[in-house]
Amino acid sequence: PRFLLVFDFDETIVDENSDDSVVRGRALPEALRQSPRGGSYNEHMQRVLAFLGEQGVRPADFRAVYENIPLSPGMAELFQFLSKHQELFELILISDANTFGVEAKLRAAGARSLFRKIFSNPASFDRRGFLTLGPYHSHKCLECPANMCKRKILTEYLAERAREDVEFQRVFYVGDGANDFCPSGTLTAADVAFPRKGYPMHRMIQESQEKQPGAFQAAVVPWESAAEVARYLQELLRR
């Protein structure tokens, strides 16, 4: 593969935050309604999932929720394009959601086989049938939530592929959130960041470009529909 394409999941591949999708229409106790200001969001979701398990939400219910989350505009088109050019693009997904939800959705969308690797918080069902969640790793980054620094995951992945003699000509990063800004800061001038237009990642890139012109090295191509990402990549192949 000549290119590495990195995807976020929530509000990037799918059009909503999958954690919100899971609790939609369910009455949560006051203590679980707001995610913690200072505390760990990952631990908050562990408590939410435990509560849902106690309320009788079962594996099949969770699977159905994840499978039915709508894809973002143009995402099906982008996947179609990538499935035609699998020899050129290596795909990985880095998400602060959970492995169960991400895998369920990608399989339902017929896109699981496109991804070489999925990095997300470990999730599985315990003997009671409750969906349990853990942190992905620990790290020293001050910008990121305690359970996941996407920059660390991306740099380690690139180093591992380099040891396997795979060097990418370019890295593309498709995301939307504040936690996508940190890894996109490692991109070089040859690479491209695709922030979703008007979302936190886009705003943070703009702010960093105003504050320190040139500090953010990658080309920036904002998107409203992922079909715009597909068109950009198509143009690149034509060159």
CA distances from 191 to 4, 117, 164, 237 (A): 10, 20, 21, 14
- Across the chain, where does the E strand assignment appear? 3-7, 89-95, 115-120, 123-125, 131-133, 170-175, 192-195, 219-220
Please give the Cα distance from 49 to 54 (Å, whole number): 9
8 is catalytic: yes
Residue 15 annotated as part of some ligand binding site: no
Specify the DSSP class assigned to residue 207: H
Neighbours of 238 (CB within 10 A): 6
Residue 19 annotated as part of some ligand binding site: yes
Q: State the catalytic residue, choosing from 10, 15, 20, 191.
A: 10
Q: State the catalytic residue, choosing from 8, 15, 61, 191.
A: 8
CA distances from 67 to 60, 88, 101, 109, 152 (A): 10, 28, 8, 8, 29
SS3 125: strand
Residue 165 annotated as part of some ligand binding site: no
Active site residues: 8, 10
Binding-site sequence positions: 8, 10, 19, 96, 176
Binding-site sequence positions for Mg(2+): 8, 10, 176
Binding-site sequence positions for substrate: 19, 96
